[in-house]
Each structure stands twice: as C-alpha cells, then as structure tokens.
Amino acid sequence: MATPGWWEQHPISVLEEKTEYWLGQSGRITHPMIIREGESHYSPISWAEAFETIADHIRATDPDRSVFYTSGRTPNETAFLYQLFARSLGKNNLPDCSNMCHESSGTALSPTIGIGKGTVSLEDIETAELIFVVGQNPGTNHPRMLGSLAECRRNGGKVIAVNPLPEAGLLRFKDPQTPKGVLADGERTSDEFLQIRVGGDQALFQALGHLLLKKEAEAPGTVVDREFIESSTDGFTAYAEARQELNWAETELATGLERAEIEHVAELLASSRATIFCWALGITQQPHSVDTIKEIINLLLLQGNFGKPGAGACPVRGHSNVQGDRTFGIWEKPQEDFLQRLDDEFGITSPLQYGYDSTEAMHAMERGDVDVFVSLGGNLAMANSDTAAMEAGLKRTGLTVHISTKPNRSHVVHGKTSIILPTLGRTDKDDKHPGGAQFLSVEKSMSVVSRTQGRLEPVSDHLLAEPVLLARMAEAVFGPDHVIDWKAMADDYDVIRDRISQVVEGAEDFNRRVRDRYGFVLPNRTFATAEGRAQFSTRELEYLPPPEGHFVLQTMRSHDQYNTTFYGLDDRYRGISGGRRVILINPADLGPAGVDDGQLVDVVSVFNGEERRAEKFRMVAYPTARGCVAAYYPEANALVHRDLVARESNTPGFKAVMVRFEPRADDEEPAEVHSLVDAQA
C-alpha cells in the first residue's frame, strides 16, 4: 500500500521514472498527503489542515482561475455535490472525461434528436433485426454487451461490425459465465465485418443513405418511413437532395471498402424494420466526428428507428458513470433551466457563462491562468492529449488537489503545491454516518439508474467517502453560515437524493425509485429539440487522407486496461504480449513505411506544421486496415497535438493522427513484443 512510509521512500525524482502500471500496482493510498513548493517528497497532512490549505488557495483567487475536473467513475450523488460546490463558487469550470471521449456524441445528438445520450435498452439490442457496431471494441471496453449481441443473433437478428481492426470480440464471443461458453470455441457475434479505414465512416453512412433513397425510389413505401418523417422530422428534402448523387471512387478511397460490400450492407439495412446503431470512440475523436454521428441519425430517421422496440441510437460509454455525471450536473456548458432549478432549490446564483472543457483547461494551465486544479478521481496527465503540454500545465498550477485511491502520474507531475486526498473506492463500506451505512447510484449507458454499495472493509481508517470529503471541503471554503447545509447531505445521502429530485428532470422521487431492485430508467425517447421535431442534417464528405509517406494513427486500449489504469501488460484478445509501446501495422504497409516487422522506431506526428515525437515503439505486423496504424493510449497521447480536435465538441483527435516512422540506430535488442495475429481468425 502507498502508506506515508512508501511516499517517504519514493521522491518525485524516482516516481518520474516509473511507469503508470508500476504506480498503479503500488496499492491504495492510506493517508492525506502533501508536497509543498521546493520539497522532494509527499508527506502526511491532517484532514483539517488539508481542507484549510485548499480553502485558503480557493479564497485567495478569482473563481475563473479554479478548475474542477471529474472522472467518469464518480457516482451520481457525488457528482451533484461537486457541481453544486463549483457553482456556489461562481464558475462552470467543470471539465470531465466525457470531453475527451463522447462529447462528440452529445454535440451531435442534442440538436438532432433533443437528447445527448442513447435511446435504447439492452432488451432493444436483444430484439433488434439489425445492429451496427461502429468504432467499438466490446470485447475489451464493453464486455457485458457481447452477451446481448449474441442474444440478438440467436433471436434472428444480424450484427454488422465496422472497424479498422478485426477485434476478437466483434467476431466471436466466449461467455465466461457459462461452462459451455468457457469450454467451447465461442459463438459468432457479427454476421458481417467491414474493415473500414480510420476516418472513413461518414463516407460509408452517406453511401448507405444514397442507396436507401435509391431503393425507395424504385419501390416507394418499402424502405423509407414517410409517415414518421412527415410527422416527426424536419430537413428531409434537403437531405434527400444532398444524397441524390454519389462519387463511388471517392467513397471507396475514403472507406477502403469495395462498392459491392457497401451495397450488400445496404440491402440488409433496407430490409430491416428495427435497426440500432451502436458506436464508441472510433468515430468520436476525429475533426469531423460530429458530422459523422449526425449521418448515423439521418439513417435512423429515414426508417423511423426511434420510439419503437429494437431500434434507436446507442453511444456506448466505457467509463462506469460518465453518463450519470453529465445528467447530474457535471458540464461546463449547463442548460439554463437546470441552473434555475438548482438556484431555486439551494438559494445560490449559478454562473451562466460557460466554463472550461478538458482541452480548454489544458490551454489555460499552459498559459498560467489556473491557480487551483481539483481532480475528483481520474488522471488527467495521462488521459488528455499532448502529454508534454498537459504535464507542463499541471506543473504551472499553484495548487493541484487529487481525490484518489491509488498513485498515478498526475500526482507526480504536480502543481507548485499538491495535495492527495484518499477516498473510499466503489467496493468499500461507507458506514461511518449517524444513520449507518450509505449507498450511492450510477447511470448506465442505457439510462438505467441503479444503486451501488461497497461491502469490503476500507484499507485504512484515514479514508473519507467522497460526499463527506466534498462537504468538508465546501464547509472549509464557505464557512459555517453558508446557505447550503453541507453536513446534512454528508451525514445522510438520502438528503442529497431528495435535493436531486427537485433539480434533475426525470429523477423525481429519487429515493424510492433507486431502491427498486432493477433501478429506474430516465426519460430518453422524446425529441426535445428547439423545434420539437427530429432534424435531418446535410454535410459535405470529409475523411482523413494522410500526406505522402504518412499513416493515420488511432489510439486504443488493451484488454487489461480500464481507461488510464492497467491491470496487466498483455493484450490477450489481440494476441499482443511483452510490451505496450507497439505500433500495429498491416504487413503490406511495412515496405511503404520503410520498416520491418519487430523493428524499433521513433514515431513522428505532424499537425499544422508542428511535429510531436514518441520514442522507442516496436513495429508489429497486424491485420489493420491499409494505410492505418494503431497504438496504445496513453503511450501515444504525446503524438496528439492539443489543437487537433473535433469541430464543435472540442474532443481530442485521438483517432486522426498523421504519423511517420524513423528507425532507431540503437535497435540491437531482440524484439520482446509478440503478436499472435491468427488469434483473430
């Protein structure tokens, strides 16, 4: 465990040389810790002194210069308290991990269907006639979804996987919860696999729209749901005109697919009466991501795939409560009606001006415009793009505060003063309250809110539950006479939920409904757009042609990885073992890239005339899409320029990096990385 003795034995100069995996394996943090300007080690600090130090820094600066970051693992009640604290200070600087992953989804969905999250349930997935799984690796990032996809196929539905990599979970599934699943070879989870080029999805969806409209013209009333379009949508005429013609040569170039492949999938889509599109980060982290997702909505609207069983939009989020955090108030761009209800309930005046998202926060830190940075969970140094700039920004900050369970890189690249506040984990008992043990809640990707309660004894008596920790921080900042009774909410989480019921739409009668065995579903099937109708969109085709001698790099996670946390160094679903600093490249691209399989290289990215360099990566021949390569996140984050972002959403372009390779002269050691590409068969 990371006890005070552990920190005493490991100065920052030593921790700087350690890997993220090593830091995470050091165990739970047991005491509040602090490192002051000029010191070389973290040392213990009392809770009272820690809160007073934080309060002194916050009170000494303008609210504009404080930033409150949230990790997606934060439960609903904690998120609600956190945003209440920030807005009581007078600022919406509430960046979160959603800014770096599914912000593009919400940005595309809100103006088109009026809600920034999905519209389907697991039951819908199991009963759909056709499911597209786009830019997603459920075997690694959403394993529970594999069972529902398999059930869909058993019920007669078809699954189409669209991805640059032939992921094992997209092709075949072994259910670890059944003896048959463990002992057998597994069952197929997809009927078709389209190996699309990175960034070519918009071209595919525009082609499918063109083909659906063409089939409708040939047999009116058989493909397009005109009754739904006329009663519930706007913009169809302009969309139909935009999709009238299609440049097939450009479509094949953008997608890497043959026309016949696309036409075959269009046949399946045209015949389906209940279609779901699922997607994840493969299409949310590119400059044209928002436009790409709007093309998905166009296809769903064409056939009336909203508000009926087995149909809808399904952005699949990987973090345990990233969707709930947004629902319960963590957003740098809050809606005014939410703020009005918050103010009415608590007697505060919330700021209306938008705050920093994660990318903007990095820019502000780099400029020296942030005096206080508080991180509720997470590891922003490793999660954000442009690692060197992110770390430099953290080091420039006056005070960094990390509410954490284990050591991570963000504790090492700290502000001038840095405080670590150790907290209970999701599995720990939270029973030090006047009324006894407490529980919290989370919202899943399917909008189901359910309770979560730890059962394990905490590793230390010096840990605080997050709601208690935040309440005590607020009391230290605002004093005992503040209009909000923070202690009442820390003592009894039912009080938090009662207040939530008055503020969050759809969370009425929260305390009763969350105690239901299966939780409850938040409303997600009305077109709450400004017009009250769903909106078709038209956009020019955009894709990612690399410069001469370059390839399009996408970042990815390994199987034993949960966001920035690693539980092992192998990637068994992809057959990769022996290291994480690898570049997966199609064998046919090795020659054009000027490298050999197993060769050690430096990777150089280019953006707006600037270069970024990441050293000592091993080339691994792998069946990726031609012209596209892949590397693990966060090792490759250093290659992603901070200005390479998705338009409108400002999400970092982790799936749009133009790179080349420079062989290293010191490549004398035998390659330790192994690839079992036949594992994908």
- For residue 527, what pLDDT is reported? 72
What confidence category does residue 667 fall into, taking pLDDT thresholds of 50, 70 and 90? confident
Q: What is the mean pLDDT of residues 282-306?
A: 98
Q: What is the pLDDT of residue 676?
A: 41
- Could you say which of 3.30.450.20, 3.40.228.10, 3.40.50.1000, 3.40.50.150 is the CATH number of the domain covering 103-315? 3.40.228.10
pLDDT at 57 over 70: yes
Angle between helical axes of 76-89 and 466-478 (0-180°, round to 10): 10
Q: What is the pLDDT of residue 118?
A: 86
Least confident of 105-109, 163-167, 479-483, 565-569: 565-569
Q: Report how far residue 453's alpha carbon sits from residue 437's, in angstroms, rounded to the nearest whole number.
A: 9
Tokens 């465990």 belong to 1
At 23-35, the pLDDT tens digits run: 999 999 999 999 9
**Is there a contact between 640 and 386 (Cβ–Cβ < 8 Å)?**
yes
Q: Where are the domains of the chain?
A: 4-101+321-521, 103-315, 551-680
What pLDDT does residue 140 have? 55
Chain Cα centroid distance, residue 615 = 26
Q: Which two tokens stand for residue 64?
A: 């504009």
Q: pLDDT digit string (tens) for 625-652? A: 999 999 999 999 999 999 999 999 999 9
Describe the crossing of helices 103-113 and 289-302 by its angle, rounded to 10 degrees: 40
pLDDT tens, residue by residue, 204-231: 999 999 999 999 999 999 999 999 999 9
CA separation for the pair 279, 170 (Å, rounded): 13
| pLDDT > 70? residue 675 | no
Among 36-45, 310-319, 346-355, which is the least confidently predicted range?
A: 310-319
Rounded mean pLDDT of 117-122?
A: 86
The tally of CA atoms less than 13 A away on the side-chain side of residue 448 is: 15
Q: What's residue 189's pLDDT?
A: 74
Q: What is the pLDDT of residue 5?
A: 98
User: Under 8 Å CB-to-CB from 325, ≥6 apart: which residues?
Assistant: 70, 72, 74, 76, 79, 96, 98
User: What pLDDT, on a 0 to 100 scale, did the predictor assign at position 681?
Assistant: 30
Give backbone dihedrals phi and psi of 158, rounded to 5 degrees, phi first. -120, 150
Architecture (CATH level 2) of domain 551-680: Beta Barrel (2.40)
The predicted-structure confidence for 520-567, as pLDDT tens digits, reads as follows 787 654 576 777 899 999 999 999 999 999 999 999 987 666 677 766
CATH number for the region 4-101+321-521 comes to: 3.40.50.740
As a whole-number percent, the residues of the chain with pLDDT over 90 amount to 79
pLDDT at 176 over 60: no
Backbone angles phi, psi at 442, to 5 degrees: -135, 160
DSSP assignment of 596-615: -TT-EEEEEEEETTEEEEEE
Q: With a cut of 60, say whether residue 10 has pLDDT above it.
A: yes
User: Model's pTM, two decimal places?
Assistant: 0.92
> What does the pLDDT read at residue 175?
43
User: Mean per-residue pLDDT for 414-422?
Assistant: 99
pLDDT for position 441: 92
Predicted pLDDT of residue 181: 38
- pLDDT score, position 558: 78
Task: Convert the pLDDT of each residue in 243-272 to its tens digit.
Answer: 999 999 999 999 999 999 999 999 999 999
pLDDT given at position 72: 75
Cα–Cα distance between 215 and 430 in angstroms, integer? 59
Q: According to the model, what pLDDT value does residue 8 have?
A: 98
Share of the chain above pLDDT 70, in %: 90
